Structure 1
């Protein structure tokens, strides 16, 4: 076994036995001296662990053990339901609750005039108290009269209070980085990797009832997509769509 492999195995042992999530690994210089290797070799080993999403780095502070990422399948489930399935306690920190004009982009997504009112909700979604996602949700105000605050699952509240049941959603997922404000909200380093999920959700009458932009911490979330081939003579089957509220 090479020194690089020995070092990698040693770091894995540390993470499995002694150093827990969000705790700092020994400094590069200390590891280099202990294994008689160059700091470049140590850096390569840490780079490999970072690519594997086993560690994360904080500039000026060191390398820390990452928490296992949460894998989400592409299906129409709420954030609250996802966390409960994994034995985690879902939570929310309400940052903004307001009624505003839809504007051109949100209005187009919700089939509204730009002047029509929408309810805008900004929340930090948490699992076991740890920030996971920063979300902005927009709802046609005419569909949710009297809605003045939001706790728990938005989809559950829409169904229970307004008899609105989300049946499908159209969404896109792309890579991004956290700006200063989003990083502060999610307790993550600025410009660290993230996933941006943009979604329009529809009810049983096929009305667009929610437009949402959700930013997930890249070190804590991954999306699993089932891909199938098209049956002979049949159109390709689309992947399941997701709503993450």
Structure 2
């Protein structure tokens, strides 16, 4: 058994005896216990941090909460969080009208250069920053939202309340590193792997509803999809 694998196995055994919020032993103590160099131990600890098994808190390290598992479906982030017993929340970053780029013109079926609503929010779960969501909406369909929508609440619930019914969406998921601004908003670092989602949603009449670009902390969020082949 290789030394890195043996160290990782030993750290897994330590985690098995701990629960969420328990302090995780410091690197110096662990290196002395297992008789390995700090560098060897640090790599194994870093892997646990990236996987979201442990997290830095203040000057120490503790056992992390389980990842928030979100469905890849036409459901809102709020529904996914509540399903796991987590409290959803949002912090408004930007809410403005922007001029439609050629990409948005095609995706939202609006005239070139028309104003498009841009809503950027930090997503929270139990007060933890887990994602950064940037949504573009056609102003001619949802212009009233500037007066009626509370950006700390569910956008999908507000859209459905207008009578719009979601019909379909195409979503792409990629692994990326955050830019400095994004990392700061998510209270993370540019070295932490992120999951980037790009979604275009249509209503039941195939009219564009939104374009969404979301960035999620890979150590705090996972995604799942229900697959079947019944044909």
Instruction: Verify same fold: TM over 0.5.
Output: yes
**When the two structures are aligned, how many residues end up with a matched partner?**
227
What is the TM-score of this pair, normalised by structure 1?
0.79
Aligned to 2:68: 70
1:156 paired to 2:186: no
Q: Using a 3 Å threshold, how does the CA distance of structure 1 residues 136 and 24 change in structure 2: closer, same or farther?
A: same
Structure 2 residue corresponding to 1:85, chosen from 79, 83, 87:
83
What is the TM-score of this pair, normalised by structure 2?
0.83
Contact 1:179 1:191 in 2 (8 A): no
Contact 1:104 1:113 in 2 (8 A): no
1:129 paired to 2:127: yes
Contact 2:166 2:201 in 1 (8 A): yes
Aligned to 2:206: 206
Aligned to 2:220: 220
Q: Using a 3 Å threshold, how does the CA distance of structure 1 residues 74 and 108 change in structure 2: closer, same or farther?
A: same
Q: Which runs of 4+ in 1 moved over 6 A?
A: 1-6
C-alpha displacement at 1:23, in angstroms? 5.2
Unpaired runs of at least 5, structure 2:
none
Unpaired runs of at least 5, structure 1:
232-245
Contact 2:122 2:186 in 1 (8 A): yes
Contact 2:70 2:77 in 1 (8 A): no
Structure 2 residue corresponding to 1:103, chosen from 101, 106, 113:
101
Aligned to 1:188: 188
**1:146-169 deviation per Cα after TM superposition (whole angstroms, max 9, x unaligned):** 211433111110111x21121211
Q: Using a 3 Å threshold, how does the CA distance of structure 1 residues 16 and 104 change in structure 2: closer, same or farther?
A: same
Aligned to 1:166: 166
Q: Using a 3 Å threshold, how does the CA distance of structure 1 residues 11 and 109 change in structure 2: closer, same or farther?
A: same
RMSD: 3.0
**1:156-196 deviation per Cα after TM superposition (whole angstroms, max 9, x unaligned):** 10111x21121211111111011111111111122310011
**The residue matched to 1:152 in structure 2 has which SS?**
coil
C-alpha displacement at 1:101, in angstroms? 1.4
C-alpha displacement at 1:223, in angstroms? 1.7
Contact 2:73 2:225 in 1 (8 A): no
